[in-house]
Amino acid sequence: MLRVPLLVAIALAIAFSGGIWSTRLALNATIGFGAIKLGAWEAFPQAQTADADPYAKSHRANAGKLLYATAEGLSFIASTDDSGARLVGSCSYALSGDTPSARYWTLFATGPDGRPPSFGADRPTALNSRMVLREADGSADITIAATARAGNWLAVSPQAPFRLTLTLLDTPAAGSSGLIDLSMPSIRKIGCGHA
């Protein structure tokens, strides 16, 4: 007598949990359509506009991210180096070159889940355009590693994969259709282990 209601309850529990799991997986799988790939960097310029597709709007609402207007900002994400290898904290990387023109930019590393690493206050977890040391030609060389380095250093968690987020604020690149012509900084592996 209790067998049929129990089977119905189990079927409903599986259906609801499977539906919630697949929805969360779909929201975390992509930011949306219309990705632009420049070397290791990837951006979704339409994800920040009113014309964004429903997946981009859902992803943004689920993450609780700040919405930039079309010409206010643009975020680029890199989870691989220029050779296509995944970024991991056991290796060190050199990020070098010019960033696209912007009034201000920020660079930070997150885990694969999008959360920043949890360090003490003595480690630099983010850099911005006003604090980096620049070369004579205006370019910046930044070392990304788990251990301290001289010069511009961005700390990452050792052994864990990570991704870099470069956000350009008040940039003409966000509102233009010439995103393909942008030159992004290169990400080059310079050593692994204690190198």
DSSP secondary structure of 90-150:
TEEEEEEEPPPS-SEEEEEEE-TTSPPP---TTS--EEETTTS-B-TTS-EEEEEESS--S
The encoded tokens of residue 130 equal 């006003």
% of the chain at pLDDT higher than 90: 12
The per-residue pLDDT for 30 is: 57
The per-residue pLDDT for 94 is: 92
Contact 31, 61 (CB under 8 A): no
Residue 14 pLDDT greater than 90, yes or no? yes
Assign 76 a pLDDT band (cuts: 50, 70, 90).
confident
The predicted model scores a pTM of: 0.73
Residue 93 pLDDT greater than 90, yes or no? yes
DSSP state of 163: E
The per-residue pLDDT for 191 is: 86
Q: Which amino acid is at 108?
A: F
Look at strands 152-155 and 140-145 and give their pairing: parallel
DSSP state of 156: -
